[in-house]
Amino acid sequence: MAIILAADIGGTNSRFQAFEAADATLRPLEEVWLPTPSAPSFVGLLQALTASGFPHSPGSCAATVLAVPGPVERGRYASMANIPWDIDLDDPDNHLQGLFVRLVNDFAAQGYASRTAVMDHALEIKPGTPDPGAPLAVIGAGTGLGHCATLPDGKGGYLAVPAEAGHTAFAFIGEEEEAFHAFLRTELGLPYAFGDVVVSGPGLALLHRYLTGEDLSPGEAAARAAPGSPTARLFARFYGRAARHYTLCVVAFAGLVIAGGVAAKNPHLVDNDDFRDEFVLSPRYHAQLAAVPIRLNRDERSGLFGAAFFGAQSLGLLSGGRS
């Protein structure tokens, strides 16, 4: 048995939770949320964790894994979007020398979470017949469009491979969609539109403004995008297309998991025939895509479970997932 300290560092909150890793399972223990903006630095965040009375710390746990937004260098350094300070685990002021502490990209954590018991409560979007030896894809629209694939590592565990596919050019089809593409290029001053500005909360708001003339926040636009509305239907097609493209890119025939706040808070945007029909729309791979099961992960603890999974697996305490 070992205690793993997991953290999910976000621009608004930093969540910490301890997990007991034993018998190839993860059991969640104490949890605390801390406001990220109140910490002047990463050292300040660790000090706030201690001051909160939380009974665990990096020094008392077998492993500590922090999921962070943005690229991670060598598992040791991250400069994060929407957070004014960076994390350098090798900085002596952190007092982490000699401890097992790692950083993982927050969407890599979502990838690892897709192999845990968090998925037991996921909403089925499309049934299918998974190939357990194939990669499993995770895609999630939030402030941007995150991607990660997890695949068997040949040692009884899994490897998560995040991608920046949300920054590749988005494929628009037909005159109606190309007109929206032109609108995006003009509004955003971009040479082309990419996934982050199409299949995301801001993308939903832009689509709603293009279709209705209403200039709303992403949350307000989501509330107005009722099931069957023009905004909801076109956004579902875009989401299904992005999901199809990523599934084919990584040959994710073990399945697709949808994560991210947009669908978690508004499941009707993916749980509909527009999304499902678009996902399987392929002249060559329709049959294979029809066999891919799709689930929506709405559990806000996913990042914590994924970070804990990575830590426990790194210590050789897990095998085969579903922890």
Could you tell me if 190 and 175 are in contact, meaning their C-beta atoms sit under 8 angstroms apart? no
Beta strand residue intervals within the chain, DSSP E: 2-9, 13-22, 25-35, 63-68, 72-73, 77-79, 86-88, 101-105, 123-126, 136-141, 145-152, 158-163, 255-259, 294-296
In CATH, the number for domain 123-296 is: 3.40.367.20
Could you tell me if 65 and 308 are in contact, meaning their C-beta atoms sit under 8 angstroms apart? yes
- CA–CA separation, 314 vs 153, rounded Å? 12
pLDDT band, residue 81 (cuts 50/70/90):
confident
Residue type present at position 299: D
Across the range 168-184, mean pLDDT stands at: 97
Would you state the pLDDT for residue 76?
A: 96
Across the range 303-322, mean pLDDT stands at: 86
pLDDT band, residue 155 (cuts 50/70/90):
confident
- The pLDDT tens digits for 233-279 are 999 999 999 999 999 999 999 999 999 999 999 999 999 999 999 99
Whether the pLDDT of residue 145 is over 60: the answer is yes
Would you state the pLDDT for residue 128?
A: 98
Would you state the pLDDT for residue 288?
A: 98
Would you state the pLDDT for residue 9?
A: 95
What is the pTM (predicted TM-score) of this model? 0.91
pLDDT band, residue 1 (cuts 50/70/90):
confident
For residue 208, the 8-state DSSP code is H
Burial class (CB in 10 A: 0-12, 13-18, 19+), 98: exposed
* Burial 263-289, CB ≥16 within 10 A → b, else e: bbebbbbbbbebbbebbbeeeebeebb
- The pLDDT tens digits for 14-29 are 999 999 998 888 999 9
Across the range 201-221, mean pLDDT stands at: 97
- CA–CA separation, 248 vs 255, rounded Å? 11
2-114+300-314: CATH class:
alpha beta
Q: Which residue intervals of 26-122 are DSSP H helices?
A: 42-51, 106-113
DSSP notation for 142-207: SSSEEEEEEEE-SSSSEEEEEE-GGGSBP---HHHHHHHHHHHHHHHT-SS-BHHHHSSHHHHHHH
Would you state the pLDDT for residue 322?
A: 54
Across the range 95-102, mean pLDDT stands at: 95
Q: Six-digit token pair at 103? A: 């950083």
Task: Tell me the domain boundaries of the chain.
Answer: 2-114+300-314, 123-296
pLDDT band, residue 319 (cuts 50/70/90):
low
pLDDT band, residue 73 (cuts 50/70/90):
very high
Whether the pLDDT of residue 198 is over 80: the answer is yes
